Amino acid sequence: GLSYLSCKITEIGAVKIKDGKIIDKFNKLVNPKIEIPEEITKLTSITNEMVENEPTIDVVLPQFLEFIGDSLLIAHNADFDMGFIRHAAKEQGLKFTNPYFDTVALSRFINTDLKAHKLDTIAKYFELGDFDHHRACDDAEMLARIFFAMIDKLRKYEIHDFDKLHSEMMQNSDPLRLRTYH
């Protein structure tokens, strides 16, 4: 869904990366125990029939949290995804305190020639091919490839770690160019 306050998780997907390679995957459909809105089915292709015999979030979320451990999470529009995970974890009394990094902010910083920074737009920009957009694991795999491409681009600017990246982003950000939120 579009809001963790009124919608539920229907799929969780993630990949683990190490040394520039995907080393493991997590991909689970989740029965949200509510009807999936038509707009979400159009967006994700996930139907009520697909999830009716799948485990609920109280089963899948602990598996996901075990999969990620205490890893740094990298997500595109991270606050959206982390909001759903944080809310579900809180409802279950589970601890979720992983640090996370948002690739939208990184893309806005290094891909200044792009007007939009949607996942599929950036995939095309870096010529990374097609993927099943809005399906969790496919998005995660593509995001890993995009992240690697952006890391390569950062190396050209002599940025080799998060501290240097943070410093550069703080020094070179223009608050007047940031998107507004209401």
- Strand 21-29 versus strand 11-18 pairing type: antiparallel
- Whether residue 87 lies in the annotated active site: no
Sequence-distant (≥ 6) Cβ neighbours of residue 11 within 8 angstroms: 27, 28, 29, 30, 44, 46, 135, 136
- Please identify which residue in the block is written with the tokens 């125990």: 33
Sequence-distant (≥ 6) Cβ neighbours of residue 73 within 8 angstroms: 14, 82, 98, 99, 100, 101
> Annotated catalytic residue: which of 76, 87, 133, 134?
134
Angle at 67 between CA 64 and CA 68, to 5 degrees: 90
Q: Report the alpha-carbon distance of residue 95 to residue 40 in Å, rounded.
A: 28
Active site residues: 134
